[in-house]
Amino acid sequence: MDFELSPEQRAFQQTAREFALGELAPHAAEWDAQGIFPVETIRRAGDLGFCGLYAAEDVGGLGLPRLDATIVFEEMAAVDPSTTAYITIHNMATWMLTQWGQPAVRDAYGPDLTSGRKLASYCLTEPGAGSDAASLKTSATRDDDSPGGPAYVLNGTKAFISGAGSTDVLVVMARTGAGGAGGISALVVPADSPGITYGRKEDKMGWNSQPTRQINFDNVRVPVGNLLGQEGDGFKIAMRGLDGGRINIATCSVGAAQGALDAATRYMNERRQFQQRLADFQALQFKLADMQIELVSARHMVRLAASKLDAKAADASIYCAMAKRHATDVGFAVCNDALQLHGGYGYIREYPIERLVRDTRVHQILEGTNEIMRMIVARYLLSGKAGDTLR
């Protein structure tokens, strides 16, 4: 059991850190304040391979393990969790397309997505189907007599879609069969297809560098060749994606927490009260130590879960759920504690702490709420299947 990063992983880490400091740090506050979606910066991330980290190599992806991807995402999230979180979503949608797409679809979209020339959104959540994804109602009815050739006719609404209205490709989960998980399929849909309309950009507490909108599908025709996998595979693809998505969002929490901890450490060494540095107060030293301990525990749990996912372990989903719950709770708590250590300065936008707090709060909700993560773990324990797998 080796906890040290390899030279190759250290190289990816350094490259990601330099990109974050050079491309994200100078602009993150402006993007947040003005609601700017930094498309050109994301494309520059694509130049480094960061838009196709674990996508297939034959369409331009790096084909990295999930563990290596966490190292890259963590470094970027330490500076800008919002933009990094979108990049993780783009990576997930790109991976789905390159993993399950038919050759023509992979060739048409894969290289543009892995390079960042085109961007993708992932469309699972609906106004009435959040954590209960199997109950989604968006329908895709096959029409073999469609004028342009056999197609699915897509109708329905998706909600809380990151990048919606500003991306080029949508990976959409829709119902092609009966109710329940087995009736769901996955489709690749050009974002400018006739019949697609986008709602207003949501005003959010955080994640302001990525637009979030509702998407409405009104008789949108999608070629049958744009099906990912087979009919009825959609829910399985979504669950595979969610395992990775939980690792990704947990990593963004770890990164944000590291950024907040670094800022708090600097501030405690600089700020003086009662004729001494904040760093000289034992109570604050203990707070900083607890933040560090919790952060390291979260980081290693995330990396363990990523390793399980890479190994295709039978219990990988349980570890992804545990890592997501733990890391997102720890990430928010560390950012919030860092704000407290900054006092009033932490509450103003001159310092990055308040943005990190706002950006990490949603991590406890998306990719399955942390209450759902607890349900997954508890059910596994109570089923009697756990045995020694969690020891």
Catalytic residues: 367
Q: Answer yes or no: are the C-beta atoms of 247 and 306 closer than 8 Å.
A: yes
Q: What are 170's strand-pairing partners?
A: 121, 189
Which parts of 101-172 fold into alpha helices (H)?
103-115
CA 373 – CA 325 distance, rounded (Å): 6
CA 249 – CA 331 distance, rounded (Å): 10
Distance spanning both ends of the chain, measured CA to CA: 14
DSSP string, 148-167: TSSEEEEEEEEEEEETTTT-
Q: Answer yes or no: are the C-beta atoms of 95 and 55 closer than 8 Å.
A: yes
CA 76 – CA 63 distance, rounded (Å): 19
CA distances, 184 to each of 65, 138, 159, 180, 297 (Å): 28, 9, 17, 8, 37
CA 113 – CA 100 distance, rounded (Å): 15
- Residue linked to tokens 């189907």: 129
Q: Which helix (H) or strand (E) holds 272?
A: strand 272-273
Q: What are 72's strand-pairing partners?
A: none
Exposure of 99 in the CB half-sphere (CA atoms within 13 A): 20
Tokens of 204: 């959010």
CA 25 – CA 47 distance, rounded (Å): 18
